[in-house]
Amino acid sequence: MNALRWYDYLTINIYWLGLTTVSQSNGLIVPLLIQRFVGPEQQGEAFGRLRLYTLMVALLVQALAGLLSDRSTLRWGRRRPFILIGTLLNMGCLLAIGASPSYWFLFGAVVCSQIASNIAHGAQQGLIPDLVPEERRGRFSGVKAVMELLPVIIVALTVGKLIAGGWMWAGILVAVAILGVTMLITMLVRETPLREAPGRLDWRPFGRLAAMTVTFLVIILGMGWVVQSVGELIYDLSATIPSLLPVLMGVVGLLAIAMAVIVGVWVSVHISIGRSGVQHHSSFPWWVVNRLAFLVGTTNISSFAVYFLQARLGIKGDAAAGPASQLMMAVGIMILLCALPSGWLADRIGRKKLLVVSGIVAALGTLILVMAPSMGVLYAGGCLIGAATGIFFTSNWALGTDLAPKGEAGRYLGISNLAGAGAGAVGSYIGGPIADYFTVHMPHVPGAGYSLIFVVYAGMFLISTLVLTRVREAR
């Protein structure tokens, strides 16, 4: 392991800034492009479909890239060749996204971008464990967290403003440039290549992950089909009392997402750690449910922010990118301000109490978004969600490390990767068609669908709190 210098804090971590900048930029660009291709009546379903498959692909590619880079004997080192190749491919994919002539071309370009991005992502995750001694990993991880939060501000001040001003291509080129520059700086990392290849490759962990991913995908598809089928039945039943339609669809949507989360987590946990693991660590699956339920809310509020602001405030087209990125900036700043103090509080008063608070505060912030008459009130709601998310990230992870058996923490906590990807897949694939449903059936109430799915996400925050009754805090 090479001696570390002060600038290694930057070179080892700066690529996270590039990756997150691209992710944040795509969160503005892709929904707007989808809207151009399919129109407001189908944009939610089209966006949800794209999110579902791209996130499942990303999960598998990231794990595979990490596995292969672990064993790389290339002269440049184990990680940097994957980061270089993944970045160059991704830069081309980002240009293809901007040039997309149709929805399906865009779909393919985004899938390819996720593959390329996660080739680099999977390798990048290995730099700190490879190069940093244990006693300094906390400080390096702190710099990593800052690099992942800074793009929220950078995108709001650059890419978001350019897109809102009608300069989408300029925004894309800024994101591409930042990704390229951060990759070049990462190439300055001093890696020592492996002299000999490790022993025989064990494919079993990747096989379990693939089985979990396919199972989760089938469950999500099934719940999406149930919502669409029940939606048409409800419309016929509520024809005499139209005001019942939002209530009934909201209940159906919430139940479908909750069922997908709970069933998906329990099946996935059984595949990963087995029946005996679940019996001996019965609180652990409920910790994963708590994590996934909360992330369904935060991830999809961010994903649908552009469409929600267009509908809620009557903002037209690309102009919504500006306020959407500023709203996400407010959320990101509050996450940064609350994440570190909540770690100290979690040690003082316990993890579960803070998680209960985070779920309730996030639900309240979401309801404020739904009822907000102006951007000022929207920022207030966003700040509450950001504060709750900062508290949640620290407290939930601390609780997970308490519950995972010490000798197998990597295998147990690795399931959280499925929760991260599953959150976007579940909430968007089921929530998007619900928003379209109201665009078609209640066109006289603009934005009713997006307000309703935000209420459903508020319900998921509360469900994340309720399931904590099944978790026994290991303290």
Residue ranges of domains in the chain, CATH in brackets = 1-201 (1.20.1250.20), 208-475 (1.20.1250.20)
Query: Can you tell me the distance from the alpha carbon of 103 to that of 34, in angstroms, rounded to the nearest whole number?
Result: 6
Q: What is the pLDDT of residue 277?
A: 66
Q: Is residue 64 within 8 Å of residue 122, measured between CB atoms?
A: yes
Model confidence pLDDT, tens digit, residues 327-369: 989 998 898 888 778 777 777 887 889 999 999 999 999 999 9
State how far the alpha carbon of 409 is from the alpha carbons of 121, 271, 273, 284, in Å: 21, 16, 11, 11
Q: What is the pLDDT of residue 238?
A: 65
Q: Is residue 83 within 8 Å of residue 15, measured between CB atoms?
A: yes
Q: What is the pLDDT of residue 455?
A: 95
Query: Can you tell me the distance from the alpha carbon of 15 to that of 144, in angstroms, rounded to the nearest whole number?
Result: 9
Q: Does pLDDT of 312 surpass 90? A: no
Query: Can you tell me the distance from the alpha carbon of 92 to that of 457, in angstroms, rounded to the nearest whole number?
Result: 35
Within 8 A by CB and 6+ apart from 90, the residues are 22, 113, 116, 117, 120, 179
Q: What is the pLDDT of residue 60?
A: 87
Query: Can you tell me the distance from the alpha carbon of 264 to that of 216, in angstroms, rounded to the nearest whole number?
Result: 5
Q: What is the pLDDT of residue 406?
A: 65
Q: Does pLDDT of 180 surpass 90? A: yes
Q: Does pLDDT of 322 surpass 70? A: yes
For range 127-142, the mean pLDDT: 76
Q: What is the pLDDT of residue 36?
A: 92
Query: Can you tell me the distance from the alpha carbon of 202 to that of 415, in angstroms, rounded to the nearest whole number?
Result: 18
Model confidence pLDDT, tens digit, residues 84-127: 999 999 999 999 999 999 999 999 999 999 999 999 988 888 88
95-109, 182-196, 222-236, 275-289: lowest mean pLDDT where? Answer: 275-289
Model confidence pLDDT, tens digit, residues 64-75: 888 788 777 787
Model confidence pLDDT, tens digit, residues 394-447: 888 778 877 777 655 556 666 667 767 788 889 899 989 888 888 777 776 667
Q: Return the structure tokens found at 274.
A: 């087995």
Model confidence pLDDT, tens digit, residues 216-272: 899 999 999 998 888 878 876 666 666 778 888 889 999 999 999 999 888 887 887
State how far the alpha carbon of 136 is from the alpha carbons of 126, 141, 177, 353, 404, in Å: 15, 9, 31, 30, 23
Give, as one character, the DSSP assignment of residue 406. G
For range 307-315, the mean pLDDT: 86
Q: Does pLDDT of 138 surpass 70? A: no
Q: What is the pLDDT of residue 349?
A: 82
Query: Can you tell me the distance from the alpha carbon of 107 to that of 98, in angstroms, rounded to the nearest whole number?
Result: 12
pTM: 0.87
For range 190-209, the mean pLDDT: 76
Query: Can you tell me the distance from the alpha carbon of 83 to that of 85, in angstroms, rounded to the nearest whole number?
Result: 6
Within 8 A by CB and 6+ apart from 392, the residues are 294, 298, 354, 355, 358, 359, 362
State the pLDDT confidence band at 46, using cuts at 50, 70 and 90: very high
Q: Does pLDDT of 325 surpass 60? A: yes
Q: Return the structure tokens found at 278.
A: 């679940």
Residues of the chain with pLDDT > 90, as a percent, come to 41
For range 300-315, the mean pLDDT: 88
The 3 state secondary structure assigned to the chain is: CCCCCCCHHHHHHHHHHHHHHHHHHHHHHHHHHHHHHHCCCCHHHHHHHHHHHHHHHHHHHHHHHHHHHHCCCCCCCCCHHHHHHHHHHHHHHHHHHHCCCCHHHHHHHHHHHHHHHHHHHHHHCCHHHHHCCHHHHHHHHHHHHHHHHHHHHHHHHCHHHHHHCCCHHHHHHHHHHHHHHHHHHHCCCCCCCCCCCCCCCCCHHHHHHHHHHHHHHHHHHHHHHHHHHHHHHHHHHCCCCCCHHHHHHHHHHHHHHHHHHHHHHHHHHHHHHHHHHHHHCCHHHHHHHHHHHHHHHHHHHHHCHHHHHHHHHCCCHHHHHHHHHHHHHHHHHHHHHHHHHHHHHHHHHCHHHHHHHHHHHHHHHHHHHHHCCCHHHHHHHHHHHHHHHHHHHHHHHHHHHHHCCHHHHHHHHCHHHHHHHHHHHHHHHHHHHHHHHHHHHCCCCCCHHHHHHHHHHHHHHHHHHHHHHHCCCCC
Q: What is the pLDDT of residue 407?
A: 58
Q: What amino acid is encoded at 21 in this protein?
A: T
